[in-house]
């Protein structure tokens, strides 16, 4: 197996946030005509956190816009960075840009990238933070509150096993916590809540600085174009070493005609599979970055806003339980502390591994699947010169 790994692809994964930023800016700067933007993200102790982006306007006529966003969840930016580098090296030079604009965004959550956290310094999951009207912040997720009161402990973490795992029972291949299935727990909590940062999947009370900047930019860009394809890069969910395209199922952010034209899920199955939010172990979210495209698009836009998820631990029941246990324990520990430093470091290490497995086989698979997807989609959009 190991002799088949493309080590050049694996080397695209950066060492850290600053290395990643340097690589992105260097490569982006080599392609003429791009408009760079550097959004400084305020930090309590850091003055070097930036979300960087580059926009190449169409050379002749504005018809299509391709947007690729990376790192909305901090530790997942390692993969996002590698994919952007592959895109800049291999896809960009092969594109016919006469009618197509390209916007690439590096590290939506630089704090989370630098410190290996999923959320921002304010404890906000940015992929629950996009409410253009602000209405979402007034809502309550009562099912999530109920799950927390039943299963979530607010005490220092005392063991690798989170307290909710004490009530775990597996019956006929289904995991239960009391009378709640793991899928019910996930579908209740994962969509997000806007009340308490100490509960799972907090979406904030207002747009975080980088969310506001992204919304502002989209307000400016979207009216210029007809067809918009937006790909948001993530890791952690789904089958090991496999790329899943997640779509919200809301309809507004996925134009069926445009999706059918660009994504042939059968012909492309070597590279990815299409997984609807309703699938077991997956979920719909509120305030996702993709929803901003739907909220800001007009009637003449055709939008396909899609989440690209690369599986890490895998999707077996055992892997899902392991992932959930670690996710809950890390969250509990962050706010309530740990019994000792060894426990803290063990839980944080596993948490990081869930976003970024230390395996060249995984790294190469991420780049290879992305390359296959971008080529197939750009070819169908008639913008690939090959
Ligand atoms: Zn993610």
CA of 73 to the centre of ligand 1 (A): 5
Rounded to 5 degrees, φ, ψ at 217 are: -65, -40
Place of tokens 């996702």: 288
Ion ligand 1 — residues with CB under 5 Å?
73, 76, 234
How many Å apart are CA 303 and CA 270, to the nearest integer? 25
pLDDT(334) > 60: yes
Other Cβ atoms closer than 10 A to 44: 7
- Write out pLDDT tens, residues 284-307: 889 999 999 999 999 999 999 999
What was the pLDDT predicted at 1? Answer: 46
Least Cα distance to 156 among 328, 318, 335 occurs for: 335
Q: Are 123 and 201 in contact (CB under 8 A)?
A: no
What strands, in cross-sheet order, belong to the sheet with 168-171? Answer: 168-171, 174-177, 180-181
CA of 336 to the centre of ligand 1 (A): 24
- Write out pLDDT tens, residues 66-94: 999 999 999 999 999 999 999 999 999 99
How many Å apart are CA 297 and CA 294, to the nearest integer? 5
CA of 111 to the centre of ligand 1 (A): 15
CA of 161 to the centre of ligand 1 (A): 23
Pull the structure tokens for residue 291. 């929803």
Q: What class has domain 2-138+208-312+356-380?
A: alpha beta
What was the pLDDT predicted at 317? Answer: 93
How many Å apart are CA 260 and CA 273, to the nearest integer? 14
- Write out pLDDT tens, residues 368-380: 999 999 999 999 9
Cβ-proximal residues to 121 (8 Å cutoff; 6+ apart), any chain: 43, 44, 111
CA of 59 to the centre of ligand 1 (A): 33
What are the residue boundaries of the structural domains of the chain, listed by start? 2-138+208-312+356-380
CA of 236 to the centre of ligand 1 (A): 7
- Write out pLDDT tens, residues 209-239: 999 999 999 999 999 999 999 999 999 999 9
CA of 349 to the centre of ligand 1 (A): 17
CA of 234 to the centre of ligand 1 (A): 4
CA of 189 to the centre of ligand 1 (A): 15
Question: Sorting pLDDT into bands at 50, 70 and 90, what band is 282?
Answer: confident
CA of 197 to the centre of ligand 1 (A): 18
CA of 30 to the centre of ligand 1 (A): 29
CA of 33 to the centre of ligand 1 (A): 31
Long-range contact set of residues 335-342: C-beta below 8 Å, sequence gap at least 24: 335/154, 335/198, 336/153, 336/154, 336/155, 336/156, 336/157, 337/156, 337/157, 338/156, 338/157, 339/156, 339/157, 339/158, 339/159
Question: In a 10 Å sphere around its CB, with 0-12 CB exposed, 13-18 middle and 19+ buried, how is residue 382 labelled?
Answer: exposed
- Write out pLDDT tens, residues 139-154: 999 999 999 999 999 9
What was the pLDDT predicted at 248? Answer: 78
CA of 275 to the centre of ligand 1 (A): 15
Q: Is the pTM of this model over 0.85?
A: yes
Least Cα distance to 70 among 355, 359, 349 occurs for: 355
CA of 32 to the centre of ligand 1 (A): 31
CA of 310 to the centre of ligand 1 (A): 9
CA of 84 to the centre of ligand 1 (A): 16
pLDDT(8) > 90: yes
pLDDT(109) > 50: yes
């Amino acid at each position: 197996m190991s002799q088949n790994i493309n080590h050049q692809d694996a080397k695209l994964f950066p060492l850290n946030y600053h290395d990643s930023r340097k690589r992105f800016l260097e490569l982006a700067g080599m392609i003429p005509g791009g408009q760079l933007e550097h959004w400084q993200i305020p930090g309590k102790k850091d003055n070097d956190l930036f979300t960087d982006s580059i926009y190449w306007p169409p050379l002749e006529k504005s018809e299509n816009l391709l947007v690729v966003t990376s790192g909305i969840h901090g530790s997942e930016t390692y993969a996002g960075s590698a994919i952007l580098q592959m895109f800049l090296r291999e896809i960009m030079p092969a594109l016919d840009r006469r009618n197509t604009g390209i916007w690439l965004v590096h590290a939506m959550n630089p704090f989370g990238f630098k410190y290996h956290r999923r959320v921002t310094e304010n404890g906000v999951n940015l992929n629950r933070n996009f409410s253009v009207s602000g209405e979402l912040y007034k809502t309550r997720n009562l099912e999530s509150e109920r799950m927390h009161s039943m299963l979530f402990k607010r005490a220092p973490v005392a063991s690798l096993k989170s307290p909710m795992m004490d009530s775990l029972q597996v019956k006929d291949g289904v995991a239960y916590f009391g009378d709640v299935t793991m899928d019910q727990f996930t579908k209740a909590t994962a969509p997000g809540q806007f009340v308490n940062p100490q509960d799972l999947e907090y979406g904030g009370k207002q747009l975080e600085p980088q969310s506001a900047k992204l919304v502002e930019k989209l307000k400016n860009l979207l009216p210029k174009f007809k067809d918009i394809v937006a790909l948001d890069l993530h890791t952690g969910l789904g089958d090991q070493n496999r790329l899943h395209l997640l779509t919200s199922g809301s309809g507004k952010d996925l134009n069926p005609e445009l999706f059918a034209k660009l994504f042939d899920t059968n012909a492309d199955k070597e590279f990815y599979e299409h997984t609807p939010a309703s699938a077991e172990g997956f979920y719909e979210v509120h305030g996702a970055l993709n929803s901003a495209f739907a909220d800001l698009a007009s009637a003449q836009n055709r939008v396909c806003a899609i989440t690209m998820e690369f599986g890490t631990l895998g999707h077996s029941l055992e892997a899902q339980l392991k992932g959930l246990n670690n996710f809950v324990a890390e969250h509990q520990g962050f706010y309530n502390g740990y019994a000792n430093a060894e426990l803290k470091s063990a839980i944080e290490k596993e948490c990081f591994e869930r976003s970024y497995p230390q395996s060249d086989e995984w790294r190469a698979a991420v780049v290879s699947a992305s390359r296959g997807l971008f080529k197939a989609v750009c070819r169908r959009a008639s913008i690939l010169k090959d």
